[in-house]
Amino acid sequence: MIERRQSARARVIYSGVIAYDERRATMDCVVRNFSEDGVKVEFDNAALLPNEIDLLIARKSRAFHAKIVWRGDREAGLAFRSNRANHPIPLDWARRLRASESEQRKLKGRIAQLLSEH
C-alpha cells in the first residue's frame, strides 16, 4: 500500500464526537490514530456522514473541521481543514462530553466490581 500521509500518525484510543448538518446532528466515535493532519475514526455507520464534518476530541481539547478522504463500513479517514482547526469547543459538546465521561467512569467501576465478584 502506498503511504500518502504528510505526517506520521500515532496509534491512540480517544473518544470523539462527530458533528454535521451545521452541528445539529452528532455521532459518537473512537479515534484510532492521530496526527496534526488527520485521524482514523471508527463508528457505527460511515455511510451516514457527509463529506465534510466537525470532530471534537475532548482529550486534546480541540475541535477540527475535516474532510472524509476514505470510508469503510465502520471507519473513515479524515483530513483536517486548516482554516477552522482551532475553533473553540461548543458548550453543548463540552456538556455532552462531560456527561459521557462521567458515565464511562461509572461503567468502568461497575465492570471492576463485577470482575472482583468472580
14: nearest Cα among 67, 72, 62? 62
What's the angle, vertex CA 104, arms to CA 89 and CA 32, rounded to 5? 65
Kindly list the structural domains of the chain, giving each domain's residue range(s) and its CATH number in brackets, ordered by start: 10-88 (2.40.10.220)
pLDDT at 25: 86
pLDDT at 63: 87
* Mean pLDDT of successive 10-residue stretches along the chain, which has 118 residues: 60 91 87 92 84 90 91 92 61 79 90 89
pLDDT at 94: 75
pLDDT at 30: 95
39: nearest Cα among 59, 19, 3, 69? 69
pLDDT at 107: 92
